[in-house]
Homo-oligomer: A and B are copies of this chain.
Amino acid sequence: MFKDMLENVRKKCPLIHNITNYVTVNDCANIVLACGASPIMADDKDEVADITAICTGLNINIGTLNSRTIASMLIAGKRANELNHPVVLDPVGAGASKLRTDTAMQLLKEVKFSVIRGNISEIKTLASGSGTTKGVDADVADKVTEENLDEVVAFAKAFAEKIGAIIAITGSIDVVTDGKKAYCIRNGHPMMSSITGTGCQLSAMTAAFIAANPEHPLEAAAAAVSAMGYAGEVAYNRLSEMDGNATYRNYIIDAIYNMTPDMLEEGAKYEMR
Interface string of A44-56 (1 = CB under 8 A from B): 1011001100110
Residues of B contacting A265 in the complex (Cβ-Cβ under 8 angstroms): none
Q: Which of A59-67, A80-88, A108-116 contacts B (4 or more CB under 8 A)?
A: A59-67
Decide if A40 touches B136 in the complex (CB within 8 Å).
yes
Residues of B contacting A42 in the complex (Cβ-Cβ under 8 angstroms): 64, 93, 96-97
Contact of A50 among B15, B99, B137 (CB under 8 A): B99
Knowing A135-B54, A246-B30, A246-B257 are in contact, say whether A96-B40 is a contact too (CB < 8 A).
Answer: yes
Residues of B contacting A98 in the complex (Cβ-Cβ under 8 angstroms): 46-47, 50
Tell me the chain A residues, 241-256 only, with Cβ under 8 Å from chain B: 241-247, 249-256
Residues of B contacting A47 in the complex (Cβ-Cβ under 8 angstroms): 65, 97-100
Decide if A243 touches B247 in the complex (CB within 8 Å).
no
Count chain B CB atoms within 10 A of each CB in A29, A246, A251, A252 and give the residue with the most: A246
Interface string of A169-202 (1 = CB under 8 A from B): 0000000000000000000000000111100000
A143 CB–B CB distance under 8 Å: no
Decide if B251 touches A15 in the complex (CB within 8 Å).
no
A38 CB–B CB distance under 8 Å: yes
Could you say how many copies of this chain the assembly holds? 3
Interface residues on A, range: 35 or more
> In whole Å, how far is A11's beta carbon from the nearest beta carbon of chain B?
15
Knowing A29-B23, A34-B194, A46-B99 are in contact, say whether A256-B242 is a contact too (CB < 8 A).
Answer: no
Decide if A54 touches B258 in the complex (CB within 8 Å).
no
Residues of B contacting A245 in the complex (Cβ-Cβ under 8 angstroms): 30, 33-34, 253-254, 257
Residues of B contacting A136 in the complex (Cβ-Cβ under 8 angstroms): 40
Knowing A34-B194, A34-B244, A39-B196 are in contact, say whether A50-B97 is a contact too (CB < 8 A).
Answer: yes
Residues of B contacting A135 in the complex (Cβ-Cβ under 8 angstroms): 15, 38, 40, 51, 54-55
Contact of A22 among B25, B137, B254 (CB under 8 A): B25
Chain B residue at minimal CB-CB distance from A95: B54
Q: How long is the Cα–Cα vector from A22 to B257 in the complex, in angstroms?
A: 23
Q: Which 5 A-B pairs have the closest CB atoms?
A: A244-B257, A244-B254, A246-B253, A50-B97, A29-B196
Identify 15 new A-B residue pairs, CB closer than 8 A, beyond the known A26-B26, A26-B196: A22-B25, A26-B197, A30-B245, A30-B246, A34-B194, A41-B64, A42-B97, A44-B67, A44-B99, A68-B68, A194-B257, A243-B254, A245-B253, A246-B254, A247-B251
